[in-house]
Amino acid sequence: MTVLKIYQATFAFALGYSLNLLLTIVAKSTVGRLRPHFLDLCKPLANATVLDYVTKFNCTRTVSIVGEKIPLEKLFVDMRKSFPSGHSSVAMFNAVYLTVYIGTRMPSKRIFLGLGYLLQSIVLASGIFVCCSRMMDYKHHWSDVLAGSLLGTLVAFFIVSSSILILIFSHISLQNVTT
């Protein structure tokens, strides 16, 4: 493997990771869905006479959660950033990109083929494990995790397919110049 190929793979990964992170942050900031543990964290004042949809909450919690050193202001801002799951999007981007990378770099000999499939399975399983763990801590709804997973997967496929097209077209243009 040449230094140029390592550089290209690293650059494609960094570009995809940055794009994935940018899209996730923009979606989190614009959608602003409440986290599942919002009521427990906020302890809002309940007005039983209101029959309309409640858009403003007056949180009564004045002390941060025991064991967490996060200021309440940051905690209340973070409560509205459930959709999509950032951990799921990053985990699935990493898993899909690395799976495709392993698939393209493993030798095609029969001995290494099983090892390649095993490595790919472990990488994908670890990405899925991270996604499942996001629902276990009650900080995300299942749809947040699904959306984050799809976002990370789509960005990874976009980056991989773009990288392959760039390599194909750069190879064609080099052949035309040399002949």
- Residue-wise pLDDT tens digits, 79-116: 777 788 888 999 999 999 999 888 877 766 666 667 88
Half-sphere exposure (Cβ direction) of 162: Cα atoms closer than 13 Å: 14
Residue 52 has pLDDT above 90, yes or no: no
- Tell me the residue type at 168: I
Q: Sign (positive/negative) of CA torsion 126, 131, 136, 138? A: positive
User: Are the CB atoms for 89 and 152 separated by under 8 Å?
Assistant: yes
Is residue 119 exposed (0-12), middle (13-18) or buried (19+ Cβ within 10 Å)? middle
Quote the mean pLDDT of the chain. 78
pLDDT (0 to 100) of residue 177? 44
- 64 versus 120: the higher-pLDDT residue is 120
What is the mean predicted confidence (pLDDT) over 47-58? 63
Catalytic residues: 87, 140
Q: Looking at the whole model, is its pTM more than 0.85? A: no
